[in-house]
Structure 1
Amino acid sequence: MVGRNLVIAVDGPAASGKGTLARRLAAHYGLPYLDTGLLYRMVARAMLDAGQRLEDAQAAEATAAGFDETGFDEAVLRGREIGEAASVVAAIPGVRRALIDRQRQFAAAPGGAVLDGRDIGTVICPQATVKLFVTATPEVRAARRHKELAGRGDTASFEGILADIRRRDARDSGRGDAPLKAAEDAILLDTSALGVDEAFAAALSIVEKRRAA
Protein backbone atom coordinates (compact mmCIF):
# COMPACT_ATOMS: atom_id res chain seq x y z
CA MET A 1 0.00 0.00 0.00
CA VAL A 2 1.13 3.51 -0.76
CA GLY A 3 1.17 6.06 2.04
CA ARG A 4 -1.32 8.87 1.77
CA ASN A 5 -0.50 11.58 -0.75
CA LEU A 6 2.79 10.28 -2.09
CA VAL A 7 3.61 12.91 -4.72
CA ILE A 8 6.80 12.35 -6.68
CA ALA A 9 8.16 15.23 -8.76
CA VAL A 10 10.62 14.25 -11.47
CA ASP A 11 12.31 17.14 -13.27
CA GLY A 12 15.13 17.33 -15.77
CA PRO A 13 16.15 18.27 -19.31
CA ALA A 14 15.12 16.53 -22.51
CA ALA A 15 16.18 12.88 -22.92
CA SER A 16 17.61 12.67 -19.41
CA GLY A 17 15.53 9.57 -18.70
CA LYS A 18 13.05 11.33 -16.42
CA GLY A 19 9.99 10.07 -18.30
CA THR A 20 11.06 6.43 -18.17
CA LEU A 21 11.85 6.71 -14.47
CA ALA A 22 8.60 8.51 -13.68
CA ARG A 23 6.51 5.89 -15.49
CA ARG A 24 8.26 3.04 -13.70
CA LEU A 25 7.92 4.73 -10.32
CA ALA A 26 4.22 5.28 -10.97
CA ALA A 27 3.75 1.62 -11.90
CA HIS A 28 5.72 0.46 -8.86
CA TYR A 29 3.65 2.50 -6.41
CA GLY A 30 0.36 2.15 -8.24
CA LEU A 31 0.03 5.89 -8.79
CA PRO A 32 -1.29 7.90 -11.75
CA TYR A 33 1.41 9.38 -13.97
CA LEU A 34 1.48 12.62 -15.96
CA ASP A 35 4.06 13.61 -18.53
CA THR A 36 3.52 17.36 -18.26
CA GLY A 37 5.65 17.98 -21.33
CA LEU A 38 2.86 16.44 -23.41
CA LEU A 39 0.58 19.33 -22.41
CA TYR A 40 2.98 21.82 -23.99
CA ARG A 41 3.31 19.59 -27.04
CA MET A 42 -0.49 19.59 -27.35
CA VAL A 43 -0.57 23.38 -27.27
CA ALA A 44 2.12 23.55 -29.94
CA ARG A 45 0.39 20.94 -32.13
CA ALA A 46 -2.94 22.72 -31.86
CA MET A 47 -1.36 26.02 -32.85
CA LEU A 48 0.45 24.51 -35.82
CA ASP A 49 -2.75 22.79 -36.95
CA ALA A 50 -4.52 26.16 -36.79
CA GLY A 51 -1.77 27.87 -38.79
CA GLN A 52 -0.74 30.09 -35.89
CA ARG A 53 2.74 31.37 -35.11
CA LEU A 54 4.25 29.67 -32.08
CA GLU A 55 5.62 33.01 -30.90
CA ASP A 56 2.14 34.58 -30.85
CA ALA A 57 1.69 34.84 -27.08
CA GLN A 58 -2.00 35.78 -27.23
CA ALA A 59 -2.88 32.85 -29.47
CA ALA A 60 -0.74 30.48 -27.42
CA GLU A 61 -2.40 31.54 -24.17
CA ALA A 62 -5.88 31.12 -25.66
CA THR A 63 -4.96 27.67 -26.96
CA ALA A 64 -3.50 26.59 -23.60
CA ALA A 65 -6.64 27.73 -21.80
CA GLY A 66 -9.07 25.72 -23.90
CA PHE A 67 -7.60 22.68 -25.67
CA ASP A 68 -9.02 19.16 -25.27
CA GLU A 69 -6.37 16.70 -24.06
CA THR A 70 -8.18 13.75 -25.65
CA GLY A 71 -7.89 15.02 -29.21
CA PHE A 72 -4.24 14.18 -29.91
CA ASP A 73 -2.27 11.22 -31.20
CA GLU A 74 0.58 10.70 -28.71
CA ALA A 75 2.78 9.14 -31.39
CA VAL A 76 2.60 12.40 -33.35
CA LEU A 77 3.27 14.46 -30.23
CA ARG A 78 6.50 12.56 -29.60
CA GLY A 79 8.09 13.78 -32.84
CA ARG A 80 11.29 15.82 -32.83
CA GLU A 81 9.72 18.89 -34.45
CA ILE A 82 6.89 19.02 -31.92
CA GLY A 83 9.41 18.80 -29.11
CA GLU A 84 11.18 21.87 -30.42
CA ALA A 85 7.85 23.66 -30.94
CA ALA A 86 6.75 22.81 -27.40
CA SER A 87 9.91 24.39 -26.02
CA VAL A 88 8.97 27.62 -27.80
CA VAL A 89 5.43 27.85 -26.40
CA ALA A 90 6.61 26.73 -22.95
CA ALA A 91 8.68 29.91 -22.73
CA ILE A 92 5.49 32.01 -22.84
CA PRO A 93 4.49 32.88 -19.24
CA GLY A 94 0.77 32.94 -20.03
CA VAL A 95 0.90 29.39 -21.38
CA ARG A 96 2.58 28.13 -18.22
CA ARG A 97 0.01 29.90 -16.05
CA ALA A 98 -2.85 28.41 -18.07
CA LEU A 99 -1.55 24.87 -17.52
CA ILE A 100 -0.75 25.10 -13.80
CA ASP A 101 -4.24 24.18 -12.61
CA ARG A 102 -4.43 21.10 -14.85
CA GLN A 103 -1.18 19.83 -13.41
CA ARG A 104 -1.99 20.61 -9.78
CA GLN A 105 -5.39 18.95 -10.05
CA PHE A 106 -3.68 15.82 -11.35
CA ALA A 107 -1.17 15.90 -8.47
CA ALA A 108 -4.05 16.14 -5.98
CA ALA A 109 -5.35 12.68 -6.91
CA PRO A 110 -6.23 10.52 -3.87
CA GLY A 111 -3.11 8.70 -2.73
CA GLY A 112 -0.78 10.87 -4.77
CA ALA A 113 0.72 10.95 -8.24
CA VAL A 114 3.95 11.02 -10.22
CA LEU A 115 4.59 13.98 -12.52
CA ASP A 116 7.58 14.68 -14.70
CA GLY A 117 8.55 17.93 -16.36
CA ARG A 118 10.82 20.90 -15.86
CA ASP A 119 9.17 22.87 -13.06
CA ILE A 120 7.30 20.24 -11.04
CA GLY A 121 9.40 20.49 -7.89
CA THR A 122 9.84 24.25 -8.09
CA VAL A 123 6.41 25.51 -9.23
CA ILE A 124 3.73 22.86 -9.72
CA CYS A 125 4.30 20.73 -6.61
CA PRO A 126 6.71 22.56 -4.29
CA GLN A 127 5.41 20.43 -1.39
CA ALA A 128 5.99 17.10 -3.19
CA THR A 129 6.98 14.19 -0.97
CA VAL A 130 9.99 13.42 -3.13
CA LYS A 131 11.75 15.58 -5.70
CA LEU A 132 14.15 14.10 -8.23
CA PHE A 133 16.21 16.09 -10.70
CA VAL A 134 17.33 13.70 -13.42
CA THR A 135 20.13 14.71 -15.74
CA ALA A 136 22.79 13.38 -18.11
CA THR A 137 25.40 14.92 -20.39
CA PRO A 138 24.11 16.49 -23.63
CA GLU A 139 26.01 13.91 -25.67
CA VAL A 140 24.45 10.98 -23.82
CA ARG A 141 20.99 12.51 -24.10
CA ALA A 142 21.46 13.13 -27.82
CA ALA A 143 22.53 9.51 -28.34
CA ARG A 144 19.42 8.30 -26.53
CA ARG A 145 17.12 10.53 -28.52
CA HIS A 146 18.86 9.54 -31.78
CA LYS A 147 18.28 5.86 -30.99
CA GLU A 148 14.65 6.52 -30.04
CA LEU A 149 13.91 8.48 -33.21
CA ALA A 150 15.75 5.98 -35.42
CA GLY A 151 13.46 3.30 -34.02
CA ARG A 152 10.52 5.30 -35.38
CA GLY A 153 12.12 5.69 -38.78
CA ASP A 154 13.33 9.26 -38.24
CA THR A 155 16.62 9.86 -40.09
CA ALA A 156 17.70 12.91 -38.06
CA SER A 157 21.46 13.09 -37.57
CA PHE A 158 23.14 12.82 -34.18
CA GLU A 159 24.72 16.24 -34.70
CA GLY A 160 21.35 17.82 -35.45
CA ILE A 161 19.75 16.24 -32.38
CA LEU A 162 22.64 17.36 -30.17
CA ALA A 163 22.23 20.91 -31.45
CA ASP A 164 18.49 20.73 -30.73
CA ILE A 165 19.13 19.54 -27.18
CA ARG A 166 21.64 22.28 -26.47
CA ARG A 167 19.26 24.89 -27.88
CA ARG A 168 16.35 23.57 -25.79
CA ASP A 169 18.53 23.46 -22.67
CA ALA A 170 19.47 27.10 -23.15
CA ARG A 171 15.87 28.15 -23.81
CA ASP A 172 14.41 26.14 -20.91
CA SER A 173 17.05 27.23 -18.41
CA GLY A 174 17.13 30.84 -19.54
CA ARG A 175 13.42 31.66 -19.64
CA GLY A 176 12.27 34.19 -17.07
CA ASP A 177 9.18 32.24 -15.97
CA ALA A 178 9.66 28.87 -14.23
CA PRO A 179 13.09 28.10 -15.69
CA LEU A 180 14.44 24.57 -15.73
CA LYS A 181 16.35 24.12 -12.48
CA ALA A 182 16.56 21.74 -9.58
CA ALA A 183 14.50 22.56 -6.50
CA GLU A 184 16.64 23.29 -3.46
CA ASP A 185 15.50 20.08 -1.79
CA ALA A 186 15.64 17.89 -4.93
CA ILE A 187 17.95 14.89 -5.14
CA LEU A 188 20.20 14.93 -8.20
CA LEU A 189 20.33 11.72 -10.22
CA ASP A 190 22.85 11.67 -13.07
CA THR A 191 21.95 8.85 -15.45
CA SER A 192 24.84 9.38 -17.88
CA ALA A 193 26.52 6.09 -16.96
CA LEU A 194 23.42 4.18 -15.86
CA GLY A 195 21.27 1.71 -17.71
CA VAL A 196 17.48 1.84 -17.37
CA ASP A 197 17.33 -0.74 -14.57
CA GLU A 198 20.24 0.84 -12.70
CA ALA A 199 18.66 4.28 -12.92
CA PHE A 200 15.34 2.93 -11.68
CA ALA A 201 16.99 1.17 -8.74
CA ALA A 202 18.74 4.41 -7.82
CA ALA A 203 15.52 6.42 -8.11
CA LEU A 204 13.56 3.88 -6.07
CA SER A 205 16.19 3.99 -3.35
CA ILE A 206 15.94 7.78 -3.19
CA VAL A 207 12.15 7.63 -2.91
CA GLU A 208 12.21 5.00 -0.19
CA LYS A 209 14.79 6.88 1.87
CA ARG A 210 12.77 10.09 1.61
CA ARG A 211 9.54 8.30 2.58
CA ALA A 212 11.25 6.71 5.57
CA ALA A 213 12.56 10.09 6.69
Structure 2
Amino acid sequence: MENNLLYQFDLEKGKEIIGVDEAGRGPLAGPVVAAAVKLKSYSEELQEINDSKKLTEKKRERLFDKIMESFEVGVGIATPQEIDEINILNATFLAMRRAIEELKNKVGADDVLILVDGNFKIREYEGKQEAVIKGDAKSLAIAAASIIAKVTRDRILVNEAEKYPEYNFEKHKGYGTKAHREVLIKLGPTPIHRKSFLKKILGTDENN
Protein backbone atom coordinates (compact mmCIF):
# COMPACT_ATOMS: atom_id res chain seq x y z
CA MET A 1 0.00 0.00 0.00
CA GLU A 2 2.87 2.35 0.80
CA ASN A 3 4.02 2.45 -2.82
CA ASN A 4 0.75 3.85 -4.14
CA LEU A 5 1.62 7.53 -4.31
CA LEU A 6 -1.81 8.42 -5.67
CA TYR A 7 -3.53 6.95 -2.61
CA GLN A 8 -1.04 8.64 -0.30
CA PHE A 9 -1.77 11.98 -1.98
CA ASP A 10 -5.46 11.60 -1.13
CA LEU A 11 -4.78 10.47 2.44
CA GLU A 12 -2.77 13.63 3.06
CA LYS A 13 -5.81 15.69 2.00
CA GLY A 14 -8.02 13.98 4.61
CA LYS A 15 -10.57 11.18 4.71
CA GLU A 16 -13.51 13.04 3.18
CA ILE A 17 -12.32 13.36 -0.42
CA ILE A 18 -14.24 13.38 -3.68
CA GLY A 19 -12.28 13.23 -6.93
CA VAL A 20 -13.74 14.87 -10.04
CA ASP A 21 -12.63 14.70 -13.67
CA GLU A 22 -14.14 14.95 -17.14
CA ALA A 23 -13.82 13.41 -20.58
CA GLY A 24 -14.70 14.87 -23.92
CA ARG A 25 -13.85 18.55 -23.94
CA GLY A 26 -12.13 18.35 -27.31
CA PRO A 27 -14.33 16.22 -29.60
CA LEU A 28 -16.56 17.55 -32.36
CA ALA A 29 -19.49 15.37 -31.31
CA GLY A 30 -21.13 13.89 -28.25
CA PRO A 31 -21.52 15.13 -24.68
CA VAL A 32 -18.91 16.13 -22.17
CA VAL A 33 -19.03 13.63 -19.29
CA ALA A 34 -17.84 14.18 -15.73
CA ALA A 35 -17.48 11.72 -12.87
CA ALA A 36 -17.25 12.24 -9.13
CA VAL A 37 -15.98 9.40 -6.94
CA LYS A 38 -15.49 8.74 -3.23
CA LEU A 39 -13.45 5.78 -2.01
CA LYS A 40 -15.30 3.17 0.04
CA SER A 41 -12.41 0.80 0.72
CA TYR A 42 -8.84 0.63 -0.54
CA SER A 43 -7.33 -2.59 -1.87
CA GLU A 44 -4.10 -3.54 -3.64
CA GLU A 45 -6.06 -3.99 -6.88
CA LEU A 46 -6.52 -0.23 -7.09
CA GLN A 47 -2.78 0.31 -7.58
CA GLU A 48 -3.31 -0.15 -11.31
CA ILE A 49 -5.45 2.97 -11.47
CA ASN A 50 -3.76 5.84 -13.27
CA ASP A 51 -4.57 8.70 -15.60
CA SER A 52 -7.09 7.28 -18.09
CA LYS A 53 -5.10 8.71 -21.01
CA LYS A 54 -2.15 6.49 -20.08
CA LEU A 55 -4.23 3.29 -20.10
CA THR A 56 -5.38 1.15 -23.00
CA GLU A 57 -9.10 0.98 -23.72
CA LYS A 58 -9.13 -2.66 -22.62
CA LYS A 59 -7.48 -1.83 -19.28
CA ARG A 60 -9.82 1.11 -18.68
CA GLU A 61 -12.80 -1.18 -19.19
CA ARG A 62 -11.40 -3.68 -16.67
CA LEU A 63 -10.59 -1.00 -14.09
CA PHE A 64 -14.04 0.56 -14.57
CA ASP A 65 -15.61 -2.46 -12.85
CA LYS A 66 -13.11 -2.37 -9.98
CA ILE A 67 -13.76 1.32 -9.44
CA MET A 68 -17.53 0.78 -9.41
CA GLU A 69 -17.00 -1.79 -6.64
CA SER A 70 -14.54 0.23 -4.55
CA PHE A 71 -15.91 3.76 -4.92
CA GLU A 72 -19.23 5.52 -4.66
CA VAL A 73 -19.74 7.05 -8.09
CA GLY A 74 -21.74 9.91 -9.59
CA VAL A 75 -21.83 10.77 -13.29
CA GLY A 76 -22.88 14.07 -14.88
CA ILE A 77 -23.42 14.86 -18.55
CA ALA A 78 -23.72 18.11 -20.53
CA THR A 79 -25.26 17.67 -23.97
CA PRO A 80 -23.92 18.97 -27.29
CA GLN A 81 -26.77 21.49 -27.26
CA GLU A 82 -25.72 22.76 -23.82
CA ILE A 83 -22.11 22.98 -25.02
CA ASP A 84 -23.23 25.16 -27.94
CA GLU A 85 -25.37 27.35 -25.67
CA ILE A 86 -22.96 28.03 -22.80
CA ASN A 87 -19.53 27.04 -24.28
CA ILE A 88 -17.43 23.98 -23.52
CA LEU A 89 -15.81 25.25 -20.31
CA ASN A 90 -19.11 26.17 -18.68
CA ALA A 91 -20.66 22.93 -19.91
CA THR A 92 -17.77 21.03 -18.32
CA PHE A 93 -18.43 22.72 -14.98
CA LEU A 94 -22.15 21.95 -15.37
CA ALA A 95 -21.40 18.26 -15.92
CA MET A 96 -19.10 18.28 -12.88
CA ARG A 97 -21.74 19.85 -10.65
CA ARG A 98 -24.26 17.27 -11.83
CA ALA A 99 -21.82 14.44 -11.07
CA ILE A 100 -21.15 15.79 -7.56
CA GLU A 101 -24.86 16.21 -6.91
CA GLU A 102 -25.58 12.64 -7.96
CA LEU A 103 -22.78 11.33 -5.74
CA LYS A 104 -23.84 13.42 -2.75
CA ASN A 105 -27.39 12.09 -3.11
CA LYS A 106 -25.93 8.60 -2.65
CA VAL A 107 -23.50 9.25 0.20
CA GLY A 108 -24.96 12.35 1.87
CA ALA A 109 -21.49 13.87 2.08
CA ASP A 110 -21.70 17.56 2.87
CA ASP A 111 -18.39 18.38 4.54
CA VAL A 112 -16.10 16.98 1.84
CA LEU A 113 -13.18 18.36 -0.12
CA ILE A 114 -13.58 18.21 -3.89
CA LEU A 115 -10.34 17.54 -5.74
CA VAL A 116 -10.88 18.59 -9.34
CA ASP A 117 -8.46 17.89 -12.16
CA GLY A 118 -7.01 20.90 -13.95
CA ASN A 119 -6.26 24.58 -13.47
CA PHE A 120 -9.75 25.76 -12.56
CA LYS A 121 -12.05 25.32 -9.62
CA ILE A 122 -15.63 24.38 -10.51
CA ARG A 123 -17.67 27.52 -11.15
CA GLU A 124 -20.88 27.93 -9.16
CA TYR A 125 -19.96 25.12 -6.76
CA GLU A 126 -20.33 26.33 -3.18
CA GLY A 127 -18.45 23.65 -1.24
CA LYS A 128 -14.76 23.17 -0.44
CA GLN A 129 -12.67 22.43 -3.49
CA GLU A 130 -9.12 22.41 -4.73
CA ALA A 131 -7.89 22.39 -8.33
CA VAL A 132 -5.07 19.90 -8.86
CA ILE A 133 -2.97 20.41 -12.00
CA LYS A 134 -2.37 17.03 -13.66
CA GLY A 135 -4.49 15.60 -10.86
CA ASP A 136 -5.26 12.41 -12.74
CA ALA A 137 -1.57 11.52 -12.36
CA LYS A 138 -1.40 12.56 -8.68
CA SER A 139 -4.68 11.63 -6.96
CA LEU A 140 -6.26 8.18 -6.81
CA ALA A 141 -9.76 9.65 -6.63
CA ILE A 142 -9.21 11.95 -9.61
CA ALA A 143 -7.60 9.14 -11.62
CA ALA A 144 -10.56 6.86 -10.83
CA ALA A 145 -12.97 9.63 -11.86
CA SER A 146 -11.05 10.08 -15.13
CA ILE A 147 -11.53 6.40 -15.97
CA ILE A 148 -15.26 6.44 -15.15
CA ALA A 149 -15.77 9.58 -17.24
CA LYS A 150 -13.76 8.29 -20.19
CA VAL A 151 -15.33 4.82 -20.31
CA THR A 152 -18.85 6.22 -19.84
CA ARG A 153 -18.37 8.70 -22.66
CA ASP A 154 -16.84 6.10 -24.98
CA ARG A 155 -19.83 3.83 -24.41
CA ILE A 156 -22.22 6.67 -25.24
CA LEU A 157 -20.44 7.25 -28.56
CA VAL A 158 -20.45 3.53 -29.37
CA ASN A 159 -24.22 3.56 -28.87
CA GLU A 160 -24.57 6.65 -31.07
CA ALA A 161 -22.58 4.85 -33.78
CA GLU A 162 -25.51 2.47 -34.22
CA LYS A 163 -27.77 5.43 -35.12
CA TYR A 164 -25.23 7.07 -37.44
CA PRO A 165 -23.14 4.21 -38.88
CA GLU A 166 -21.58 6.33 -41.64
CA TYR A 167 -19.75 8.44 -39.07
CA ASN A 168 -17.83 5.61 -37.34
CA PHE A 169 -18.22 7.14 -33.89
CA GLU A 170 -17.19 3.82 -32.37
CA LYS A 171 -13.69 4.34 -33.80
CA HIS A 172 -12.90 8.01 -33.15
CA LYS A 173 -15.40 8.68 -30.32
CA GLY A 174 -16.29 12.04 -31.86
CA TYR A 175 -12.75 13.43 -32.01
CA GLY A 176 -11.75 15.39 -35.11
CA THR A 177 -9.85 12.71 -36.99
CA LYS A 178 -9.21 13.02 -40.71
CA ALA A 179 -11.87 10.40 -41.46
CA HIS A 180 -14.38 12.12 -39.20
CA ARG A 181 -13.78 15.51 -40.83
CA GLU A 182 -14.14 14.01 -44.30
CA VAL A 183 -17.52 12.43 -43.56
CA LEU A 184 -18.68 15.65 -41.91
CA ILE A 185 -17.93 17.61 -45.08
CA LYS A 186 -19.64 14.94 -47.19
CA LEU A 187 -22.79 14.31 -45.11
CA GLY A 188 -23.02 17.28 -42.74
CA PRO A 189 -23.50 17.24 -38.96
CA THR A 190 -25.72 14.90 -36.95
CA PRO A 191 -27.86 16.00 -33.99
CA ILE A 192 -25.02 14.98 -31.65
CA HIS A 193 -22.44 17.25 -33.27
CA ARG A 194 -21.38 20.44 -31.49
CA LYS A 195 -22.31 23.11 -34.03
CA SER A 196 -20.03 25.66 -32.36
CA PHE A 197 -17.05 23.37 -33.03
CA LEU A 198 -17.70 22.95 -36.76
CA LYS A 199 -17.39 26.47 -38.14
CA LYS A 200 -13.84 26.09 -39.48
CA ILE A 201 -14.49 22.61 -40.89
CA LEU A 202 -17.77 23.35 -42.65
CA GLY A 203 -17.17 27.01 -43.41
CA THR A 204 -20.62 27.94 -42.11
CA ASP A 205 -22.01 30.16 -39.41
CA GLU A 206 -21.77 28.24 -36.15
CA ASN A 207 -25.45 28.85 -35.36
CA ASN A 208 -26.74 27.14 -38.50
TM-score (normalizing by structure 2): 0.29
Q: In proportion to residue count, which structure has more strand? A: 2
Determine which structure has greater relative contact order: mean sequence separation of CA pairs < 8 Å that are 6+ residues apart, divided by chain length.
Answer: 1
Higher helix content, 1 or 2: 1
Determine which structure has more spread, i.e. the larger CA radius of gyration. 2
